[in-house]
A and B are shown apart, each in its own frame.
Chain A
Amino acid sequence: MPALDQIQNNTPVRVVSIEAEGDPSLVRQLMHMGLYPGARVRIHQRYPTYVLVADEGTVALEEDAVRRIRVQAIA
């Protein structure tokens, strides 16, 4: 399963899981910002900081966190 940072800008994908290793509170934070497993998300911009647009929220993140988000193509 690819990590979200591998996906091209503005291509909607579905969140499968979030790697919590080393930062367990991150998963919870992201879920409450709309990046829960099953949510549709796309990358809006990468520079100077990642901006992700999901169905239920827009989130600014750094690259390290974006790599933790595993996604799959929308069927």
Chain B
Amino acid sequence: MSDVAVLPENKITADVQAEPTVLLVGHPNVGKSVLFHGLTQKYVIASNYSGTTVAVTRGSMPYAGKQIVAVDTPGVHSLHAAQTSEDEKATRRMIISAKNPIVVQVAEAKNLHRSLLLTAELAELRIPMILVLNMMDEATQAGLTIDIPKLSKALSIPVLMTVATKRQGIDGIAEQLPFAAVPRMPQVFEKPAVSIICDNAIHQLVDQVLTRKKSPTADLKVRAGNLMMHPLWGVPFFCMAMYFMYQFVGVFGAGTLVNYLEKKVFGAYMVPALAKAFTAVVPLPFFHDLLFGEYGVISMGLTYSLAIVLPIVFTFFLAFALFEDSGYLPRLTILSNRLFKYLGLNGKAILPMVLGLGCATMATMTTRILQTKRERFIATLLLAVGVPCSAQLGVVLGITAAIGSWAVFTVLGIVLMQLCIVGFCANLIMPGKPSALVMEMAPIRLPKLLPILKKTWYRMRWFTREVVPLFLWATLGLFIFDKVGLLKLAERILMPVVQGVLGLPGAATPAFVMGFLRRDYGSAGFFRLFEQGQLTVLQTVVSLVVITLFIPCVAHFLMMIKEQGRLRAMGISVFVVTYAVFIGWLVRQVGMRLV
């Protein structure tokens, strides 16, 4: 993280001899990352830049016979100091703190005017740069011709044309780097006027270099995009997308893949073989218990994270990347904006909310994309209250389906209702308003396999690095708690609540305690009780509602502390537990009168 081109401020004026750092900067969706991968031979590190959710990729590229560092920065809409988004702050910070920076502005050739606006802002930073007009093929298709030499002369910087997806013109970038200069640009935003009438200089420049021909528009992609955000037709499209998600993640990922990995690979071969080999070398029962016992770090922690959660998360990330890259998510934002407004959020919250259906821990991290502290808090709260993660959803669906389809709708309906109630109340109670939606819509593009796999790979890597260790630590903690008797103590404390308030058998208590480590394990515990006939249908529904609303897994809890601070995370957790028990009690009371 620390080596992602973030250096102390005092290193800005580095000596001329030092090797430059190349930074790729540009608006979102201009093909910056594709260009980056074409430009650099090997990537060195791809990590989440602190403060953003966007991966910052670093690589090396040739420059004057040497290999120098190149950085792919998050896409920005503006670099002005008054910008709002975390990405923009991060990118600006990276540019001004880089050692001997050279900026390569990647722009969409089709959008010359707005690209030059960004050039003007880069010029204000007084950093040498070159301008790359990418997606030249799309511009030509749209009937645009750009006079490159004229533009280059007017700006007094190198200007290049590329089609990154076809590797056209990419080699020219390295050749032109030594000629990078601070562009000659009139200051566009001299005064923060109440209304800006015209940014004349850029207009004149665009008029001089750009020729437009009429071209036919409205092709299939545009039509599909329109359908997705249509107030009426958008709904069946959404249902189809969700059904696909359910089939792919729920049935294939959580069913087929998990069964194979957990029961066969881990259960039948790996864990027993490891246990046998270990006992042969270290014949101490304590260590055997520690690794392979009931709460063993390997038998439980590793199996859980790699054999159960990972395949589910993998299929989910794959499907999610498909939605992202096709341009469906922004259309969903439009459809859902008004609904989210009632919950104190705006349409942009669809991203963490849908992601929460995959992994609530990661979703809590992505609440950073929301604009205000208030929105980030509400989104975190909602994720904690009632967005079931894919692992949990799988088990809940499995159990309720065994009872009958009405149970599926009852449990999910109750949970969804709580989500709305809590969000609505939070919006009412907390000072402030949800911020207005201002969002650029990426065009519908046919998703490409390689970028999707790459994205999924990065997210999986993040998951195995950040979340899996948490599971292992948590299992270790559980093991210790079990050994010193704290687990029994916790169960004894919870017993009156479980029996008295929720009306469940005492045997259900361990499932709640376990539910904190792995949400679905809690649900699975109830499944066993249900199968053994220890739970009535009503009791099963009550337990599933409570466990879904209940505190999320321990990894999620730790992520909440990281994002919201200890105090707020504790506050959210206490509220969520109390609320879950209260709703469980309410469901029981209503249920008893109905049955």
Instruction: Specify which chain A residues have a CB less than 8 angstroms from the CB of B441 in the assembled complex.
Output: 51, 57-60
Which of the residues B78, B113, B334 comes within 8 Å of A39, measured between beta carbons? B113
Q: How far is the CB of B334 from chain A (nearest CB, A)?
A: 5
Name the residue of chain B whose CB is nearest to the CB of A22: B194
Bound complex: CA of A52 vs CA of B231, how far in Å? 15
Contact A60 to B439, CB < 8 A, known contacts A20-B194, A25-B83, A49-B337: yes
Chain B contacts for A55, CB-based, 8 A: 113
As a 0/1 sequence over residues 210 to 252 of chain B, the CB contacts with chain A under 8 angstroms (1 = contact) are 0000000000000000100111000000000000000000000
Chain B residues within an 8 Å CB radius of A16: 197
Number of A-B contacts (CB under 8 A): 121
* A27-B231 Cα distance, complex, nearest whole Å: 28
B194 / chain A contacts, CB cutoff of 8 Å: 19-21
Within 8 A of B (CB), among A17-71: 17-21, 24-34, 36-39, 44-45, 47-49, 51, 55-62, 64-65, 70
Chain B residues with CB below 8 A from A51, complex form: 229, 334, 441
Chain B contacts of A39 at CB under 8 A? 113
| Assembly CA distance A41 to B439 (angstroms) | 16
Q: Is B189 an interface residue (CB 8 A)?
A: yes
Q: Find the B residue at minimum CB distance from A30.
A: B438
Distance in Å: Cβ of A38 to nearest Cβ of chain B: 6
Known: A28-B80, A32-B77, A56-B111. A65 touches B198 (CB 8 A): no
Secondary structure type dominating chain B contacts: loop
User: Which listed residue, B118, B335, B440, touches A57 by the CB 8 Å rule?
Assistant: B440
A25 CA / B439 CA spacing, docked (Å)? 14
Closest chain A residue to B336 by CB distance? A48
CB of A52 to closest CB in B, whole Å: 9
Bitwise, B399-424 to A at CB < 8 A (1) or not (0) is 00000000000000000000000000
Q: Which of B103-120 contact A (CB under 8 A)?
A: 110-114, 117-118
Binary contact readout B77-110 vs A (1 if CB under 8 angstroms, 0 otherwise): 1101011100000000000000000000000001
State whether B229 touches A28 (Cβ < 8 A): no
Distance in angstroms between the alpha carbons of A18 and B194 in the assembled complex: 9
B residues in contact with A44, CB < 8 Å: 226
Contact of B114 with A33 in the complex, beta carbons under 8 Å:
yes
Task: Give Cα A59 to B442, complex, Å.
Answer: 9
CA distance A38 to B114 in the complex (A): 12
B117–A65 CB distance below 8 A: no
**Docked complex Cα distance between A24 and B194 (Å):** 8
Known contacts being A34-B111, A34-B114, is A48 close to B197, with CB within 8 Å?
no
Report the nearest A residue to B83, measured CB to CB: A25
Which residues in A have their C-beta under 8 angstroms from that of B333? 60
B113 CB → nearest A CB, Å: 6
Q: Is the CB of A26 within 8 A of B438?
A: yes
B436:A64 contact, CB within 8 angstroms: yes
Which A residues are CB-close (under 8 A) to B118?
Answer: 32
Interface membership of B27, Cβ < 8 A: yes
In the complex the two chains form, is A28's CB within 8 Å of B82's CB? yes
Q: Are the C-beta atoms of A61 and B438 separated by less than 8 Å?
A: yes
- A31–B117 CB distance below 8 A: yes
Query: Is the pair A20, B193 in contact by a Cβ cutoff of 8 Å?
Result: yes
Pick from A33, A58, A59, A65: contact of B436, CB below 8 A.
Answer: A65
Partner of B231, one of A19, A28, A45, A57: A45
What residues of chain B lie closer than 8 Å to A38, measured between beta carbons? 198, 203
Pairwise interchain contact B77-A29, C-beta atoms closer than 8 A: yes
Interface residues of B in 296-346 (CB under 8 A from A): 330, 333-335, 337-338
Give the Cβ gap from B116 to chain A, nearest Cβ, in Å: 10
| Interface pair A48/B440, CB less than 8 Å apart | no
- Decide: B78 and A29 in contact? CB cutoff 8 A: yes
The docked-state distance in angstroms from the alpha carbon of A38 to that of B205 is: 13
Q: A21-B194, A37-B198, A38-B203 are in contact. Are A59 and B438 (CB under 8 A)?
A: yes
Task: Please determine whether A47 and B113 come into contact, CB atoms closer than 8 angstroms.
Answer: no
Of B82, B231, B436, which is within 8 A of A62 by CB? Answer: B436
Known contacts A24-B192, A25-B83, A48-B231; A37/B197 CB under 8 A:
yes
Known: A20-B195, A27-B196, A33-B114. Contact between A45 and B229, CB under 8 A? Answer: yes
Is the CB of B437 closer than 8 A to any CB of chain A? yes
Q: Smallest distance from the beta carbon of A3 to chain B beta carbons, Å?
A: 12
CA distance A70 to B196 in the complex (A): 11
Residue of A nearest to B230 (CB): A45
Residues of A within 8 Å of B189, CB to CB, are 28
Query: Is there contact, CB below 8 Å, between B110 and A56?
Result: yes
B334 and A29 form a contact (CB under 8 A): no
B283 to chain A, nearest CB (A): 65
Residues of B within 8 A of A21 (CB): 194-195
Distance between B132 CB and nearest chain A CB, rounded to angstroms: 17
Contact residues in B for A61 (Cβ distance below 8 Å): 436-439
Contact of A20 with B196 at beta-carbon distance under 8 Å, contacts A28-B80, A34-B111, A38-B203 already known: yes
CA distance A67 to B403 in the complex (A): 53
From A32, A62, A64, give the contact of B117 (CB < 8 A).
A32
- Residues of B near A31 (CB, < 8 A) are 78, 114, 117, 196, 199
Q: Which residues of A contact B338 (CB under 8 A)?
A: 48-49
Judging by beta carbons under 8 Å apart, are A36 and B436 in contact? Answer: no
Q: Is the CB of A58 within 8 A of B195?
A: no
18 new A-B contacts at CB < 8 Å, known A33-B438, A45-B229, A49-B347: A18-B195, A19-B195, A20-B192, A20-B193, A21-B195, A28-B82, A32-B114, A32-B118, A33-B77, A36-B199, A51-B229, A51-B334, A51-B441, A60-B439, A61-B438, A62-B436, A62-B437, A64-B436
Q: Which 3 A-B pairs have the closest CB atoms?
A: A56-B111, A58-B441, A32-B77
* A interface residue numbers (CB < 8 A to B): 16-21, 24-34, 36-39, 44-45, 47-49, 51, 55-62, 64-65, 70
14 residue pairs bridging A and B, Cβ less than 8 Å apart: A20-B192, A27-B196, A28-B83, A33-B440, A37-B197, A45-B230, A48-B231, A49-B337, A49-B437, A60-B439, A60-B441, A61-B436, A61-B439, A65-B438
